[in-house]
Structures are given as C-alpha cells and as structure tokens.
Amino acid sequence: MSDTRLLTEIRRANRGTRVQYVLMVIFGSLCILAAFAPFQDIIRITTVGTLFGFTAGLWVSHLIQVLRKAIEAQKTEPQAATGTQ
C-alpha cells in the first residue's frame, strides 16, 4: 500500500479510530525509547512492559471494535437485501 493511500485511509477513519492509532504510535514509540534509556534494569523492564501492555491493549481493543462493526454490518446486510427488519 502506498504512503498516500495509507494516509487517505487514515483520514477516512472516524475520530475514535484515529485517536486509537495515535495512542498506539505514542505508546509504541515510548516503549522503544524506554528500552534504550539509561535506567536501571528493573526500572527499564517495568517501564517497557507497562508501555507495551498499553500498546497491546489498545490494539486488541481496536481489533474487537473493527470485528464488532463487521459483524453488525454483515447482520444488517441480508436484512436490507430482503427488505425485512
């Protein structure tokens, strides 16, 4: 997928989805920075684990949201085609 197409898809996404993407990028970047930070090992491991947990949690939440929307769209599609509700 080209960069312009990717940016177009992100711009078409609703506000909630864009916020989730931004938070994933922020927490993921902080996770990488914390991994190379000059902290004690226990602090670095705890920080990276926590930030990775936030990033993974956001991703799973986003995945569930997308799947739920797809299931709802699939359920309403046959009803729209037959004209019954």
Q: Where are the domains of the chain?
A: 3-82
Which two structure tokens, joined as six digits, stand for 32?
Answer: 């990488």
DSSP secondary-structure letter at 38?
Answer: S
Q: Is the pTM of this model over 0.85?
A: no
Which two structure tokens, joined as six digits, stand for 21?
Answer: 């993407």
Amino acid, res. 65: Q
Look at residue 67 in the predicted model and tell me its pLDDT.
92
> Closest Cα to residue 59, out of 12, 31, 29, 17?
17
pLDDT digits (tens, 9 = 90+) for 62-82: 999 989 988 988 888 766 655
